[in-house]
Each structure stands twice: as C-alpha cells, then as structure tokens.
Structure 1
C-alpha cells in the first residue's frame, strides 16, 4: 500500500489512508481516484447535497466487498466535522454527518463510503435540522398525526424536495423507464412544475422537484401518492402505484414512499458500489432518449460536466409550490380514496388500508 496522502480540501487537511486501494476493479480506480472524482464534481455536488444530513453506505474493501449502512458518526471523528441529530423511523435519534463541504465528503470516502444517501432536510445555523413550529405556523396545514411517535416534540422537519422514484420491475427494460419518465415530466409540466431527472446508477430514474420550504414529509409524501396514482390512471400499461409487488406486473413502480418521513434517497453525483463505478448522474430532459446509465461513471462524468455543465443548474434557485399536487391528493381523498400503504416499519397511519398483501388477505 502507498503512504497516506494529505489533501487540502475546503481549507482543511484531510488524510486519505491506503490511497491506492482499488475500489472499482473494472478499470482499477482507487480510493484516491474516488476522492478526486468528488473534487471534480464539487460544485453541483454541494449544490444538491450541501448542508444536508447524509447516511453513509460503507464498503471498506471497495465495490465487491462487504457493506453496511452507518447513520451515526463514530467516536474519534475530527473535531471540525459537523453533525446533526436526525430521527429514525422508530424515533431513535442518530448523530448524522452533515455534508458541509468537500472535506466532509472526503472524510467519509476515506472510511469506505462510496456514495451518500441524502435526507431531504436542511441544517440551520444552530446545527439542528430546520423544523416547523406547529403552534406558530399559519401557512402549513399539518395532518392529524401524533408526531411524538416519531420522536418529534418541537415540530416537524421542513422538507424541500419531492423525490419521485421510477423503479422498474425486473422484467422491465430501461427503454420503458425512459418512457415512464417522459410521462411523469408531462404530468408535472401540466401542473406548472419543473422536474429534474437523474439516473439512479442502477436500473431506474429519479425525478426531483425542489420545493419552497413550506411543507413537511407527510405532505410531500401525499403529493407523491397523488402523482403515482395519476400516472397509473394515464398509463396503466406502463406505470403502477401498487405497493405490493404481486400487483405490479411488468411495469414501472412509482415509489411514493421514498418521501415518507426519515427516508433517504441515493444522492445525485454519488457513486454506486458497482465494479464500473457508475454514478447517479443528473441529465437534461433532451437526453432522455439516449442517456445510458452504465456509461456514466467516475471516469466519464467529470469530463461530461466540464463540457456540458450541470443539468440541474436551473433547479437550485427556483423552489416551487407543492400546491397543485396537494390539490390532486385532496381530489382523490374527496373521491373516497384511502391513503396508500406505508412501509411495514412505520406506525399505522390514519386512513391507511390494511397493511397486508392482497393474496394473503384473500386467503385469510
């Protein structure tokens, strides 16, 4: 192994141990190569992830090695490292890393974090996640849910991103995912909303909507449910809002529950644990018909960014209203539709249907 390397990143010295350890064996990229990749995409990376808590997906031996998720920053971390308290689904607090700058990113990469799962939350100047004060806020209508079951006592976190996950069933090829993304883009445009797309680094596509800081995760999830249901109504041959896999068929699932409270999504510009170092890469809608997820890697994305710029540049300074999508949700509720199912780890929710697979329900 080569000697440790100390890099000056964001004005801080960051040590990279075992810099020549191979993380991505297809082309032989190393731990240091991964740090250099994140340095090359620093601007757009921090525009989308900066100031947010992140969940670390660690692969200490690289993409082919064993892995684990880490929410808590370990003891012995540098004193300059910024963290914040986030809640897990059961209300347990975790001291999570905040993606303040490139030095924080590189520190995590040195521990074997290849990519980052990002909360749709921001951290304020006081080091805490920004929350609503339900007693003082007149602009936010909060659903009748006991927030204390989530560990929230002062208010709910402000969520400033709607994340629409187009998740294909195993039998569905990427051409169908492209088609699904086009239908989603049309729906959002009709609502006066601009969505911004990225590859997942795997088989799907994520579409993000940057929001005004006026809603919490319950409302953002409700908007996601409304989008999923409307997409299924428009193209039942292609898209589905069915939570239960046995009902999805050969379709693309719109995973609305990626917007449930305390959920994270794999971040834009983050690198997947694949031997080719594939990136979850933003792309322009004009590229939808030709974008190739497998070709977007740590070897190709920096040059692409340098020549074409950040496809999400227009997103950062133009937060949007969720009201049109919440109106769709209200219309569904008025028509008698119950809430969509939640993941099994969540407490039972108001107006939620029985949390049991249809085939099992029929047997019972």
Structure 2
C-alpha cells in the first residue's frame, strides 16, 4: 500500500484499487477489551483471506451490508450494484417479483478490496450461482439460540443435525456465524430447485424438533419458541441469502463467520464469535472444510431415507 492518510493504493490481482480514508475507524474499541479496527484493517484482512473466501463467493449474487460510518452508524443493505462501481466488478441480473435486480458478484481479490473500501462489512451470498440461480448448490440449517449466552444449546443442536444428516448420507460442514449461532452447510448437486430444497430442510428440521420438543423448535415466531433453539431453514429460498464463509460481522471486535471442523465442535473455547479479523486467516489455513464441499449430493436418495424416518 502507498499514499497518505487520505487514500492508499492497493494492488490486488490484475487491478489497482484506491482505498479512501483507510484510517477511518469501522470497529471502535469497546467494552470487554474489544480492539479497534479501521477500514485499512478490513482491507488487509480481505487481501489475506481472499484465497480461502473467494471459492465461496465466485458466481454468487451478493447482498452487501454496508456501514459507511462504522458499526455504530447507519446500516445499508445493498442489492443493486451502483453504476459507479468499476467495470471489472462482476454483476449478475436476476429476476424477482416486479422486475430484476443487478447484484454484485465477487470473483476476485480486487473486488474484495473494493467492497472493503465501500465499507461493505458483511457479504451475504445466495445459495445458488449465476447461470442456475434457481438451483441451489448449498442447503443451510441456521441454529439460532434463544439467548446470546446459550451456546451450549447450539453445540447440542449441531450434533443432532449432524447425526441426522449422517444418517441420510449427506455430507455436512459447520461454520460459526460470527453472531450467535452456527450454520450447518450441505453441498448439493443443483438437481433440486429452491422449493424442493427448502421443503426437505423443513421436513428434516421437523423430524428433529419432534424428537426433541423440549430443546428444539421450528416455530418462526419468537413468542412461540420459549427457551428452545430455533432450527431456521428460511435461508433455503429463492433470493434469500446467508452470511458468506470468512465474512466479517458488524459487531464489536470484528468477529468473522468461520468454517470449523466437526471435531472443533467439542472445543470448550468455541463460541459463535470465536474468530475475528485478527486470527480468522489462521483458522482458514487449517482448511476445516477440506474434502466436503467437493462432495455434493442430490436430495433424491436422502428424501427417501427421510420419508422412512417420518413414517
């Protein structure tokens, strides 16, 4: 990087990106010793994590969660790609009710750096890719605890979801959300459309909730959940998004949504905000999802097994 405090020039792959106000604080120092992080820190993190993050972003429509004045300022959820974005930033136009939306696509490290300059803290990705946007290649179970301090319930729910998926012969991977819970992610072959995938996820969640009614629920309304963990399958719908692996969350200390291995689920130190931009790249280098995302499955055989469980 070079330049004064007003701007820095960053070379990322084939492009040069000007980073404006790199010293601007996006994550103020906070209670409990949460460190301060600047826009320059976010840029540096995006550059370092790019080799690990880009495979989870390429070809996918994104919704950008932008915080131009940092996490304490207003939040903007951006779907349409502004005309002033560089021509080398990827785009995909997708149909939605009432028209189309031109989503940003992040295919390279330069785009990751540019989005950091735009104070796009969190990248929310579609579960499908351009070319077949109606055919997801990921299914996500979002394990949402009743309270911020109830991670043990998340850990237990993840084990139950993993055991069910193993029984259905579906490979699965774990990710901390950087917020409160965990995601369980299943790679798919894109043979089913969103409606079929969401119906499968809902039926699987209902099997688990019926088996553990005191601990798990599929109730969408918070008032109906009590202190039970919510098995959220709503990400599995057309035009819905889920936080991308290795993206930063807009919370004190800059926590990161971080892939983990199933073995790490037993680590007593694990929690939803375990990794931040200070150490998430180290976790990425362990490649906790190695061999999982390249083993996609169709849901046909698993559906037959699930139907047998449902009786």
TM superposition score normalised by structure 1: 0.78
Partner of 1:24: 27
Partner of 2:12: 9
**Is contact 2:143–2:230 with CA below 8 Å preserved after alignment?**
yes
Partner of 1:297: 276
**Is contact 2:142–2:232 with CA below 8 Å preserved after alignment?**
yes
**Structure of higher RCO (CA pairs closer than 8 Å, 6+ residues apart):** 2
Of 191, 197, 213 in structure 1, the residue corresponding to residue 190 of structure 2 is: 213
After superposition, the C-alpha distances for 1:274-303 in whole angstroms (9 at most, x for unaligned) are 120000111111111222333310012122
Of 283, 290, 297 in structure 1, the residue corresponding to residue 260 of structure 2 is: 283
Task: In structure 2, list runs of 5 or more residues that go unmatched.
Answer: 30-34
Counterpart-to-counterpart distance in 2, 1:305 and 1:94: 32
**Is contact 2:25–2:39 with CA below 8 Å preserved after alignment?**
yes
Partner of 1:121: 128
| Pair 244,172 (structure 1): closer, same or farther in 2 beyond 3 Å | farther
Counterpart-to-counterpart distance in 1, 2:240 and 2:95: 10
Correspondence 1:53-64 to 2 at 5 A:
53-64=61-72
After superposition, the C-alpha distances for 1:71-102 in whole angstroms (9 at most, x for unaligned) are 011122212122011244x3431111011111
Q: Does 1:239 align with 2:216?
A: yes
**Is contact 1:172–1:251 with CA below 8 Å preserved after alignment?**
no
Counterpart-to-counterpart distance in 2, 1:91 and 1:223: 28
Correspondence 1:86-165 to 2 at 5 A:
86-88=94-96, 90-123=97-130, 129-130=131-132, 157-165=134-142
Partner of 2:51: 43
Task: In structure 1, list runs of 5 or more residues that go unmatched.
Answer: 124-128, 132-156, 336-364
| DSSP-derived class of the 1:288 partner | helix
What number of residue pairs does the alignment pair up?
301
Counterpart-to-counterpart distance in 2, 1:24 and 1:245: 29
Counterpart-to-counterpart distance in 1, 2:149 and 2:219: 16
Partner of 2:76: 68
Partner of 1:269: 246
**Is contact 2:60–2:127 with CA below 8 Å preserved after alignment?**
yes
After superposition, the C-alpha distances for 1:194-230 in whole angstroms (9 at most, x for unaligned) are 1101111111111101101211111110111111101
Partner of 1:355: none
**Is contact 1:59–1:66 with CA below 8 Å preserved after alignment?**
yes
Counterpart-to-counterpart distance in 1, 2:209 and 2:144: 14
CA RMSD of superposed structures (Å):
1.9
Counterpart-to-counterpart distance in 2, 1:65 and 1:93: 29
Question: Which of these two proteins has the greater Rg computed from alpha carbons?
Answer: 1
| DSSP-derived class of the 2:288 partner | coil
